[in-house]
Amino acid sequence: MATQKLNNYNKLNFNLYSHSKFIIMKKIILLITALIVGYGIYNFLQPPKSPRESSKINFNSKEFLVEYGRPYKKNRLIFGEKKDGALVPFNEYWRTGANYSTDLTVSDNFIFGDVSVSKGSYWLHTIPNNNNWKIYLNTEAGTFSYFNPDETKNIAEISVNTFDLENEIEQLTIDFSEEDSSLFLRIRWDMTGLLIPIK
């Protein structure tokens, strides 16, 4: 009888212990879940480090649209030699923005530099150098552009000279500029600018 009572007491203690352990584990799991969800919401509500923006213009009965990520300078060396720690090293592929590809969309057939291009959306990427950049259009628009593009899908390549800006541009800016009845896709960042003829 005494042994039976002891066994029942032990079972009761074990069940209470197991139940308490289950409640503690459940609270820990709920706490971890709440922290993860809270962190996700916090990140979602924060402004992106390189916000996605766009610029659009109508010119000669065509609609031109460029969409791109806009990184900030933040006291960094932007264009320069890799050995000097430049964010965008000379003579290397640059996505020409941040995160997803910089995309140029045109509503009708157009001329990019001196290259005839069919209407549509194209990934614009570059190889910057000190005084001259190579500019490419690639058919893989809308991609996450961290890795080098498939060069077989480049459909246009031109060279454009750069110019020095009078004032430093903190955030990468790509837009359109009309000068002397001509249209240019304009890229400006830090103290560097360039104008890409487009029509």
Residue 25 CB partners (closer than 8 Å, separation 6+) = none
Q: How confident is the model at residue 28 (pLDDT cuts 50, 70, 90)?
A: confident
| Percentage of the chain lying above the pLDDT 70 cut | 79
pLDDT at 47 over 80: no
Predicted local confidence at residue 50, as pLDDT? 72
Integer Cα distance of 135 and 132 in angstroms:
10
pLDDT at 2 over 60: no
The 3-class SS string of the chain reads CHHHHHHHHHHHHHHHHHHHHHHHHHHHHHHHHHHHHHHHHHHHHCCCCCCEEEEEEEECCEEEEEEEECCECCCCCCEECHHHCCCEECCCCECCCCCECEEEEECCCEEECCEEECCEEEEEEEECCCCEEEEEEECCCCCECCCCCCHHHEEEEEEEEEEEEEEEEEEEEEEEEEECCEEEEEEEEEEEEEEEEEC
pLDDT tens, residue by residue, 52-101: 999 999 999 999 999 999 999 999 999 999 999 999 999 999 999 999 99
Q: How confident is the model at residue 29 (pLDDT cuts 50, 70, 90)?
A: confident
